[in-house]
């Protein structure tokens, strides 16, 4: 049930935005009663926060499975855009991030979790890629930059002159990152908790 509610919330956030994501709308989209939602999530912030946590859990990189070699930098960036950031879940996350900026209650619920996710996500990726400088902090900086660029691109998407131009931006950015990062050779991988 909670899964069903959160999924409907993601759809609402994506299609309607944070403000228009109302209990009534989620209820209709999920095909359940009002009481079911308020029982599990007493406030709107609790509903959205729970949805965010679920999204982050799912997005904890389905992109590089443990048992296969890491993707090339270029491919990873491209598929991160297509499969994560520019997906219903990715767009929902951006709605939530924006809402956090001006909704103190929501921010309080998510601040620590988002910080932790950020750290663990960077740890995970830094274990498989390395900056041309060999510096681990630099690797994390570069991937942080990539994530922020992709999120920013989401805001620009509807105003881009053509879909091809957006792809050119992606390509140019990915090539630039490619020149700064490389896949770690397998024997150099040190497992991170």
Judged by the rule CB under 8 A, the positions of this chain that interact with a copy of itself are 15-20, 91, 94-95, 97-103, 107, 111, 114-115, 118-119, 137-138, 141-142, 144-145, 147-156, 158-159, 161, 168-169, 172-173, 176, 180
Residue nearer to DNA on the CB measure, 43 or 123: 43
Three-class SS string for the chain?
Answer: CHHHHHHHHHHHHHHHHHHHCCHHHHHHHHCCCHHHHHHHCCCHHHHHHHHHHHHHHHHCCCCCCCCCCCCCHHHHHHHHHHHHHCCHHHHHHHHHHHHHHHCHHHHHHHHHHHHHHHHHHHHHHHCCEEECCCCHHHHHHHHHHHHHHHHHHHHHHHHCCCHHHHHHHHHHHHHHHHCCEEECCHHHCCCCC
Residues of the shown chain interacting with DNA in the complex, contacts defined by CB under 7 A = 1-2, 20-25, 32-36, 38-40, 42-45
Residue nearer to a copy of itself on the CB measure, 17 or 72: 17
CB 70 within 8 Å of CB 32: no
In whole angstroms, how close is the CB of 58 to a copy of itself at the nearest point? 19
What is the token pair recorded at 60?
């904890």
Among DNA, a copy of itself, none, what binds residue 175 when CB lies within 5 to 8 Å by partner kind?
none
Residue nearer to DNA on the CB measure, 45 or 139: 45
Among DNA, a copy of itself, none, what binds residue 15 when CB lies within 5 to 8 Å by partner kind?
a copy of itself
Residue nearer to DNA on the CB measure, 16 or 97: 16
Among a copy of itself, DNA, none, what binds residue 168 when CB lies within 5 to 8 Å by partner kind?
a copy of itself
Residue nearer to a copy of itself on the CB measure, 36 or 169: 169
Among a copy of itself, DNA, none, what binds residue 22 when CB lies within 5 to 8 Å by partner kind?
DNA
């Amino acid at each position: 049930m909670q899964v069903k509610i959160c999924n409907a919330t993601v759809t609402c956030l994506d299609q309607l935005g944070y403000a228009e994501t109302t209990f009534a709308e989620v209820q209709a989209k999920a095909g359940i009663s009002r009481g079911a939602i308020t029982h599990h999530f007493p406030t709107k912030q609790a509903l959205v926060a729970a949805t965010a946590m679920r999204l982050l859990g799912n997005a904890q990189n389905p992109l590089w499975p443990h048992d296969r070699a890491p993707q090339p930098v270029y491919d990873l960036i491209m598929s991160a855009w297509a499969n994560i950031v520019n997906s219903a879940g990715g767009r929902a996350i951006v709605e939530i991030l924006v809402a956090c900026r001006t909704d103190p209650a929501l921010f309080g619920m998510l601040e620590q979790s988002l910080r932790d996710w950020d750290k663990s996500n960077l740890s995970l990726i830094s274990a498989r890629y390395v900056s041309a400088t060999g510096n681990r902090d630099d690797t994390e900086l570069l991937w942080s930059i990539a994530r922020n660029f992709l999120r920013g691109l989401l805001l620009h998407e509807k105003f881009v002159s053509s879909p091809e131009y957006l792809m050119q931006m992606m390509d140019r950015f990915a090539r630039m990152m490619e020149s700064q990062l490389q896949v770690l050779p397998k024997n150099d991988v040190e497992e991170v908790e």
